[in-house]
Structure 1
Amino acid sequence: MRISTAGFQNRTLDLIQQKQTELAHTQEQLASGQRLTRSADDPAAAARGVALDSALEQVTRYQSNISRVRERLVGEEAALDEATEVLNSVRQLAVQAGGSAVDASAAQAIAGQIRSQLADLYGIANRQGADGQALFVGTRAVEQAFSATGAGTTYHGDAQSREVRIGPGHRVADGDTGRAVFMDIPRGPTVQAAAANTGTAALTRLSVDATAAPADLPWTVQFSGGNWTVTGDSGATLGTGPYSSDEAFVVNGVSLQFANTPADGDQFTVQPAGQQDVFSRLDQIATALEGFDGSAGSRAQLTTTLYAGLEQIDTATDHVIDTRASVGNRLQSLDRAESSHEGVAVELMATLSDLRDVDIAEAASRLSLQITALEAAQQTLVRVQGLSLFRLL
Structure 2
Amino acid sequence: MRTHRSFKIHSVQQCKESLLQWSRNYGHVVWLDSNSHHDPYSSFEACLAVGASTFCNDLEEIKSFLRQTPDWLFGYFSYDVKNVLEDLTSSHEDGLDFPMIQFFQPQKLIVVADGQLHFKYLDAIGHEIESDFAEIHDTKSKGDALKPRETIKIKMRIHKDAYFEKAHQFLEHMHRGDIYEANFCQEFYAEEFQLDPWATYQKLNRISEPPFAVFARFSDKYLMCASPERYLKRIGTKVISQPIKGTARRGEDKLEDEQIKESLSLDKKERSENIMITDLVRNDLSKSAVKGSVQVEELCKPYTFKQVHQLISTIVAEVPENKSSIDLIRETFPMGSMTGAPKISAMKIIEDLEETKRGLYSGTVGYFSPNGDFDFNVVIRSILYNASKKYVSYSVGSAITAQSDPEKEYQECLLKAKAMRTVLEEG
| TM-score class normalised by the smaller sequence | under 0.3
Please give the TM-score of this superposition, normalised by the length of structure 1: 0.24
More helix by share: 1
Normalising by structure 2, we get a TM-score of: 0.23
Q: Indicate the structure with greater strand content.
A: 2
